[in-house]
Structures are given as structure tokens and as C-alpha cells.
Amino acid sequence: MTIFLFAVLMITEIGFVVFEATKNPVKKEWSVSRIVENSAQLLIYLAMILLPGIDFSFRFKGLFIILIIRIVVAGIIALLTRKNENKKSKVAIFFSAVLSAVLFIMSLIPAFIFTDYNGRPLTGKYEVAQKEAILIDSSRVETFETDGSYREVPVHFYYPENYINENGEESMHTLPLIVFSHGAFGYYQSNTSTYMELASNGYVVVSLDHPYHSFYTKDSDGKLITVDQTFVQTAMSVGNDPDAHYTEEEIYEVTSEWMKLRMDDMNFVVDTLKEGASGNYGDSWCFASGKEAEIKEAVSLIDTSKIGLIGHSLGGATAVTVGRREDVGAVVDLDGTMLGEEIGVENGMPVINEERYTTPLLCITNEPHHLEAAEAGKLSYSYANNVILNNADEGFETYVAGSEHMDYTDLPLFSPFLAGLLGKGSVDSGYCIDITNSLVRDFFNCYLKGEGTFTVQESY
């Protein structure tokens, strides 16, 4: 529909300039006609909001602003131009059409890149509330800054709205806690459909940001924190550049740094949430103005004896290793290589943690990742995921046919263009994330709520 809108605007623009060129108008007449034309284009856009795929969201606000500015500018020029001025040159008239095309394209870039995605259908009975806070870890100095400030970890809550009112005060502390970690230069909303599905089914979900590993976030002063460019360059080079020629030792050194930062973040969040659920908030919490009571109500719903961890990519790797904690009851790894389980390098090969993995573990991988892991097993290559699953008391692995890395996030539904750049497969994106969310829900229902027996197919 965005292309259709652009085409309609350009048809009106071309028709206008051709008509005006045949008239050979004076400049004041041209400006008045331009006001009428731009107003008509604005009305066309507003009328087309009634059509699916076109709205007044951020995707089209640029176009709206451009149309308003053009009307205002044309009006000012008309007021300041004398009636007896020279005629408008045909070159200038046709140049205005070219300029209009450029402005329309630029203003519609967000609409071309992003869709009008509004989430997936939920299976749970609860409406979902959302809140956020920032946790400040006074035991760690922020290594990405030079001012001696402490590490800050934003946390975003998704939980059943009005749960206490619906179920009575005696039902407090009855909801399992799920903590989510995003992937490299991802962001906390990467799997919103997953959080919403879980929360609608009676979970308190907390998605945390890893500042400087996250695409963007904000600190307690409201300052925008963007992803660290050195981290981006190194991650892209290690993961995708065959000419970088990193040794296993060099890869282990850099990935160990990433994993330590992320695991420290997740451990800190879990510990702080447990303290909060017991009524002890201390100095770690930074609440948005007027939101403290609501967030504390959400935290009060947490059953600290039922904790699940989940993450995508590096976040999945984080969840797996932090999941060795005794207080964690279930872990889900969404297409993450378990780098936290690599404990060294010997003879140019990674050394994998051979300890039993006692926490129930579900790994959902993309199809190429699954095939590579299978090939590594045939070649006796020490691949972390294979080792951990083999040593898990209850380990499950599956994949969705035709999937790639970003299919296990909401990005392909929100922006197929960006997902295509980062790794989107041939699978229907809605189908893939719905299968993923249902498996995640059923897995946590089994191991955190004691509902049913969990099984998976080899693939979906």
C-alpha cells in the first residue's frame, strides 16, 4: 500500500506540473496553485488512512510533515510575491516535480522499511500491562564510560494486568518469572510477541537491555545509549568475515568478554528481582516518575521459586550458562551458540564445559544452524550446543524448516527489509514465530507450572 500511496501522489504531482507548464503561469499564480495541489495531496493521504497498511504512525509522519511544510511554504511565497512578477519557467516547474519525488521517497522510507505489525494473536486469558525501570549495579563500574558511573541495566516488565484485583490478594507471588536477554545489537522488544504470549498466560516477563550491546537504550538520566561501534565491528568480523583470520584463542578471548558482561547483567537482574519480590528494593532501583507503585505491584506477583530464562542469539547463550543457577527451573535458547559454555582453548580447539546440565533446556535453532550442528557431531568437532544437550538431564532441540537467524524474533514481521539483511529464511514469518512462542509457552508451562509433559518434533 505504501507503493500505491507513493504512486497516487506522484500521479497527482505529474498531472499538476504538466497542466501548469501548458498554462505558463506567473509566479504568484503558480504558488496559489501549488497550495491547492499540496492540500489535495494531504487530503489524499488522510483519506487513504482508511485503507489497510496506511496509518498515522511513525511510518507516515514524515510524509504528513512534508505535506504541511509544503503548504505553508507555498502560502508564504504566494503572500510575498507580487502579481506582476515574471512567469514561472518550465524548467522550474518540472524541477519541482523531481524535488517532490525526492521528498516523497525520503519521507516514506520508514513506511518502506517497516510494516504496520501490531503483534500476534494471544492464547492466554489475561490482558497484558507493560512497565519499565532501570536497575543500577553499584558493584560494577561501567567499562564503556570513563566517568566512574555504575553499570545500569534497563528492565521492561510484561505481566497480567489487574491480576491481583481479579484473583484477590491471597494470589500474590503465584506467577513464574521469565527473564529475557536480547541478541547482539538487538533490543529489548526483539521478541515482544513471546513476552505478550507468556504474560497473557500468567507469567511475569522481564526483558532486559544490555547497554552498549543493545541497539539503543536510555540511562537513568534519560541519555540515549547506542550500541558500541567497536562491539558491532568485532561481532560482525568474528561471525561473518572469513578473511579476518581470527585464531580460536582470539575468538575465545573476545567472546568471553561479551559473555561475562551479559551474564553479570542477567545474574544481577535475577538477584535484584528476587530481592524486590521479598520487599527489599534498596538503592538499586530507578523508577520512572509516578510508576514506582505499579512496578512494585508487578514485582510482588513474582514467585521466586519458579524462574525461567530465555534469550535470542547471544542472549540465548547467556540464558544457558546463567541457567546453571540452582534457582532456575527452565531455560530456552533461541538460536544461540552456547559461548558461555566454552571454558578455554587447547590445541586450537574450544574446550567445552562437560558438567551435567541439570536444568531443563529447550534449544530452537534455525535450519542451517541445525544442519551445521549435526555435521559437527559427525566430525567429532567439539561444538558447545551438542556437548551441553548431550550432557543435559532433560534437553530438547528442534528447528523450523526454512528458518534463519532472525526468524526467531519479531523483526521479520516488523521489518522484512531489515530482517532480510540480517538473516531471514523462506519460512512464513508469522508461522515461525507462532510455533516458537507455542513451544516456549508449553515448555515453561511444563517445567515451571507442572502442566503436562513436554515433547518436541524433530522439526516443524
Structural contact between residues 59 and 111, judged by C-beta atoms closer than 8 angstroms? yes
83 and 145 inside one domain:
no
Q: Is residue 457 part of a domain?
A: no
Structural domain includes residue 119: no
Number of domains comprising the chain:
2
Q: Is the residue at 222 inside a domain? A: yes
Q: Show which of 113, 138, 165 is a domain's final residue.
A: 113
Same domain, 108 and 153: no
pLDDT value at 73 more than 80: yes
Q: Identify which has the larger pLDDT, 301 or 169.
A: 301
Q: Are residues 386 and 415 in the same domain?
A: yes
**In-domain check, residue 120:** no
109 and 132 in a single domain? The answer is: no
Residue where a domain stops, chosen among 113, 138, 163: 113
Burial class (CB in 10 A: 0-12, 13-18, 19+), 74: buried
Q: Three-state SS for 340? A: helix
- Give the separation between CA 93 and CA 382, rounded to whole angstroms: 68
Is 48 domain-assigned? yes
In a domain? residue 118? no
Task: Determine, yes or no, domain membership for 460.
Answer: no
More confident residue, 302 or 349: 302
Asked whether residue 257 falls in the same domain as residue 329, the answer is yes
Q: Answer for the pair 179, 269: CB distance below 8 angstroms, yes or no.
A: yes
Domain that holds residue 15: 2-113
Residue finishing a domain among 113, 139, 165? 113
Shared domain check, 233 and 98 = no
Q: Is residue 338 part of a domain?
A: yes
* pLDDT greater than 90 at residue 33: no
115-124, 204-213, 241-250, 349-358: lowest mean pLDDT where?
241-250
Going by C-alpha positions, the residue among 328, 308, 303 that lies closest to residue 172 is 303
Q: How many CB atoms lie within 10 A of CB 12?
A: 16
C-alpha R_g of the chain? 27
Quickly list DSSP for 159-215.
EETTHHHHH-GGGTT-EEEEEEE--TT--TTTTHHHHHHHHHTT-EEEEEP-TTTSS
The whole-number pLDDT of residue 170 equals: 47
Same domain as 272, residue 134: yes
pLDDT tens digit sequence for 75-134 = 888 787 766 567 777 787 788 888 889 999 999 998 888 888 889 999 999 999 999 999
Q: Are residues 103 and 178 in the same domain?
A: no
Residues 6+ apart with CB under 8 A from 383: 352, 373, 376, 377
What average pLDDT does this structure show over 181-205?
Answer: 96
150 and 95 assigned to the same domain:
no
**In a shared domain, residues 195 and 269:** yes
Q: What is the pLDDT of residues 263-298, one digit of tens each?
A: 999 999 999 999 999 999 989 999 988 899 999 999
CATH number, position 153? 3.40.50.1820
Residues 326 and 246 in one domain: yes
Residues 307 and 236 in one domain: yes
